[in-house]
Amino acid sequence: MLLIGIFASLSVKSFSQWYDPAKVDQKANRIYNTAIEKARDGDYPEAIDMIQQALKIEPRFVDAYLSLAGIHGDMKEYGQSALNFEKAFALDSVYSDYYLLPYSISLAGMGRFSDALAAVNKFLAIPGLNERSKLAGAFRKGTYEFAIHYAETHPDNGYIFKPENLGDSINSANLEYFPSITVDRKKLFFTRRISGNEDIYESDLSDDSVWGKAYPLPGLINTPTFNEGGQNISQDGKWLIFTGCNFPRGYGSCDLYISFLTPKGWSEPQNLGPEINTEFWESTPSLSPDKRDLYFSSNRPGGYGGKDIWVSHREPDGSWGPPENLGPQINTAGDESTPFIHADNQTLYFNSTGLPGYSNKPDLFVTHKLPNGKWSTPENLGYPINTIDDEGSLVVASDGTTAYYSSDRSDSKGGLDIYTFQLRKDIRPLRTLWVKGQVYDAKTHLGLPCTVELTDIQSGTVVSRLQTDEEGHYLVTLPVGKDYAFNVHRKGYLFYSQNYNLGTTNPDSTFTADIPLQPIEANAHIVLKNVFFDTKRTALNPESIAELDRVVALMQENPGIKIRITGYTDNVGKPADNLVLSKGRAISVVNYLLSKGIANDRLSFEGLGEANPVADNSSEEGRALNRRTELKIISVK
């Protein structure tokens, strides 16, 4: 901001100083006045050049240095801004001391918050400040104190903030912003504005990790007439939710729309309907990895301030339920926007003007979903990610480390560009892997639409529950740090069971699992991979309950079936002991089913010890596979 705009509220000095603007050389003053007009028109380079010409004529031209400082500040060249303020202070500190406030802002722009605090304290000590100046100074003082306290309580441990421009394939002389990325980090979507028109673009990552030339989305999303932007791609890359403003038959100025990927490109957008959209502003959507929750920002009534963050849950029939406000823990009297829910489905990033931060512009924050479903106290991402300038939106890749955001940094191709950087460790989400594949009928090999469920084994909490597409394709995210039970269910079939042990191991690869579901018929069988026992014990571990409850549900859905539970062990120990152990474990499973009301005549059991191994007992991995509990359908009525 130019000094002529920033400082209109500052008091005019009534006491003397040596510098007198009326005594400035007339030629220098004419050049200076023309320069100010150039600056007002936005021609900063020409204005700077002309002011420097005036300074050659009048080297002690204090107002010229102050205006140079303001222009450089407006250009976010805070080092040059502070330097010119200091030249003015050195020439006449009495005349210039009202400019200690904008000087402090430039110091803060450089990250020199302690110096900024000293400058603003000196400003606030000036006698006779008007109330507006006092309020402005007090606000800035609070932000500098916040910044100093944050640095003291968040040691960076050598963290280096080094944003990298994504290059000419993505960025151009136009504006690029609102990046969004798929879970495999192979597709990047963003908004590009050309001559006031917003469209959505895509760039694809090559096998040698180079972003390809961005192209407008194929299909029916982009139009030459309306603005399409503020988009969010689903983790599997098959749904795209975006903001469309002033569309025909819309509900308000900006609504949320959804499009689906088809063989011919993106489908015709569908308005998400009156539950989501209102006559007010809805924008910046973010879809949870299981596609069950839609976060967005809106200024609709019923919130806590201007724009609030809301969430809508998808109903079993595919419709979206009434949005819920995320509450006063996150929303404030200011504006909250650009929510981004990470692939771990637990970490939410957003921006806010109402939470403590570095300026009156939006800062970026992070909050985590707690076991009770509430959100943790939002944490400011800190300097230098947040600055005194506007931090708009942030997305974080599935690795939990790589972040993408838009900025108009000095090396941009033109205005806003998209950059990437590495997040500081203490503000990272969980690194997230994923399992994907297709569910199909074991006999016909045709794809089956069905339910896929991921459960935290330790807590028994369902982490994700999603529906496959019509061909049975699915993608489920797996945040590392926990062990998961993975189940696939469709009525008329035996469920599928798998487990992923990510609590103590962190594999580098993701998983592909094409799953054949067996129709319910005699001799169909499955391994209950989430039934657990301690070594040499027959008592069920608590982590087994979720899996056994699925067996209960299977028996209740199919009252005509009878099953046999068979226990197996590895070959460690004596064969006779292993027979007894395996039988005891099978009995424990049957007893649990009996306790849940399953009739005794529908259940049988056997223990076969180390017989029928499915893997080599020479390795621990093989022995673990051989220690198993199987379910087999004996008969179907």
pLDDT tens across 507-550, in order? Answer: 777 889 999 999 999 999 999 999 999 999 999 999 999 999 99
* Percent of the chain predicted with pLDDT > 70: 97
Query: Above 70 in pLDDT, residue 73?
Result: yes
* Percent of the chain predicted with pLDDT > 90: 87
How do the domains of the chain map onto residue ranges?
3-153, 164-427, 431-519, 520-637
Tens digits of residue pLDDT in 398-407 = 999 999 999 8
The pair of three-digit structure tokens given for residue 178, joined into one six-digit string: 């609102």
CA angle 471, 475, 480 (to 5 degrees): 160
The per-residue pLDDT for 575 is 96
The per-residue pLDDT for 505 is 66
State the architecture of 3-153 in CATH terms: Alpha Horseshoe (1.25)
Q: What is the mean pLDDT of residues 132-139?
A: 97
Query: Above 80 in pLDDT, residue 21?
Result: yes
Q: 520-637 has which CATH code?
A: 3.30.1330.60
Round to whole Å and give the CA distance between 223 and 535: 63
Q: What is the mean pLDDT of residues 294-305?
A: 96
Q: What is the mean pLDDT of residues 402-418?
A: 88
What fold does the segment set 431-519 form as a domain? Answer: Immunoglobulin-like (2.60.40)
Round to whole Å and give the CA distance between 597 and 577: 31
The per-residue pLDDT for 10 is 40
Query: Above 90 in pLDDT, residue 193?
Result: yes
The per-residue pLDDT for 130 is 95
- 127 neighbors 98 (Cβ within 8 angstroms): no
Overall CATH class of domain 164-427: mainly beta
Query: Above 50 in pLDDT, residue 9?
Result: no
The per-residue pLDDT for 506 is 67
Tell me which of 14-28, 176-190, 216-230 is least confident: 14-28
Give the three-state DSSP class for 96.
helix
Average pLDDT value for the chain: 93
pTM over 0.75: yes
The per-residue pLDDT for 273 is 95
Q: What is the mean pLDDT of residues 203-225?
A: 95
3-state secondary structure 419-461: EEEECCHHHCCCCEEEEEEEEEECCCCCECCCEEEEEECCCCC
The per-residue pLDDT for 391 is 87
Round to whole Å and give the CA distance between 144 and 107: 10
Sign of CA dihedral 117, 119, 120, 122: positive
The per-residue pLDDT for 410 is 73
